[in-house]
Amino acid sequence: MAANGDILTARSVRKEFGGLVAVNDVDFAIPTGSIVSLIGPNGAGKTTFFNMLTGVYKPTAGRILFGATDVTGKPPHAITELGIGRTFQNIRLFEHMTALENVLVGMHSRLSGGIFRSILRTPGLRREEREARDRARELLRYSGLRGRDDELARNLPYGDQRRLEVARALATEPKLVLLDEPTAGMNPQETAAFTDFVSRLRTEQGLSILMIEHDMKVVMGISDRVTVLDYGEKIAEGSPAEVQADERVIEAYLGRGAAA
């Protein structure tokens, strides 16, 4: 990791779509092993920022470092290989595959079965496939999806689909996980269980986590740091308590005058 102990660093990252500035020169860092939340009103540029970190969009300007590696403008699969996994705001599972297959696809970059080895069915490949299956089942259990292995992803209940997305992201063997509104649409019980699961990811798996979240109870409950975006600009950053007390944040959420 980099000397300053940050697993991810963004330096003056900027994204323009035509004339629209979606993300405006944002500086940002995730300390290794921490849970960081990214909040802000709808349209503040949070998902655009996510998409730059994962290589879906190429920043207009600025640099993104993962550890000490410059990942600016790298293709998504290369960034995944380096160790960033993510989930999506609108669940994007492979609907026509089973839960187990979804997780196996997540392992794609960690498996070696090339076309020719697949045709030859070498013993090494067979062992690798068996181990991959075992590990996939284990990941499903760990994510709270016991007994759902062979169900098609689209037939799973909503909460389980969210869990499967996380299991699939974990299968890419990430060091940093990006969760885009993971508790959206969950009821309070599901949200509480999911929040607990996210903190376990850090303590048990040693992961660093960045999440976009609207549920302030979740954000304030488990984040070490909170960054607030509004109209593409970073308007506040700090501990949950600091951010909660910040006038500009209250203004962004509730409108001018509310802070008075």
Partner 1 sequence: MNRRRPGFVSALGLALVVLLVIWLVGNFVNSPSEFVNVLFIGLNYGAVYGLVALGYTIIYGILQLINFAHGDVFALSGLVSWTLLVSWLGITEDSAMLVTVAGILITLVVAMAFFAAVNAGIEFVAYRRLRSAPRLAALITAVGVSFIVQNVALAIYDVDFRSATGLIPRTDIFVAGGVSYQWNKLFVLLVTVPVLILLTWFVRATRQGKAMRATAQDRDAAAMMGINVNRTISISFALAGALAASAGLLYLLSFNMRYDTGFELGLIAFTAAVLGGIGNLTGALLGAFTIGLIQAFNEGLTWYTPGSDWTRSIVFGILIAILVFRPEGLLGERTPEGA
The secondary structure of residue 89, as a DSSP letter, is S
* Residue list 112-131, contact with partner 1 (CB under 8 A): 113-115, 118
| Smaller CB separation from partner 1, 180 or 230 | 180
Both tokens of 67, joined, read: 């550890």
- According to DSSP, the residues that pair with 37 across neighbouring strands are 211, 226
Task: Kindly tell me which residue out of 11, 14, 63, 110 binds partner 1, with binding defined by CB under 8 A.
Answer: 110
Nearest to 7 by CA among 59, 58, 71, 61: 71
Smallest gap from residue 101 Cβ to partner 1 (A)? 7
Q: Considering just the CA atoms, what is the radius of gyration of the chain in Å?
A: 19
C-alpha torsion angle, residues 198, 202, 203, 206 (rounded to 10) = 150
The size of the interface with partner 1 (CB under 8 A), counted in residues, is: 33
Nearest to 164 by CA among 204, 105, 221: 105
| Smaller CB separation from partner 1, 86 or 225 | 86
Task: Kindly tell me which residue out of 109, 202, 244, 259 binds partner 1, with binding defined by CB under 8 A.
Answer: 109
Smallest gap from residue 121 Cβ to partner 1 (A)? 10
| Smaller CB separation from partner 1, 7 or 228 | 7
Tell me if 191 contacts partner 1 by CB under 8 A: no
241 CB contacts (<8 Å, ≥6 apart)?
none
Using the structure block, give the residue that is written with the tokens 């992803």. Answer: 153
Q: How far apart are CA 183 and CA 83, in angstroms?
A: 23
Task: Kindly tell me which residue out of 161, 172, 183, 223 binds partner 1, with binding defined by CB under 8 A.
Answer: 172
* Residue list 45-104, contact with partner 1 (CB under 8 A): 54-56, 75-77, 80-81, 85-86, 88, 92-97, 101, 104
Q: Where are the beta strands (DSSP E) in 18-87?
A: 20-31, 35-39, 61-66, 69-70, 84-86
- The contact set with partner 1 (CB under 8 A) reads 54-56, 75-77, 80-81, 85-86, 88, 92-97, 101, 104-106, 108-111, 113-115, 118, 168-169, 171-172
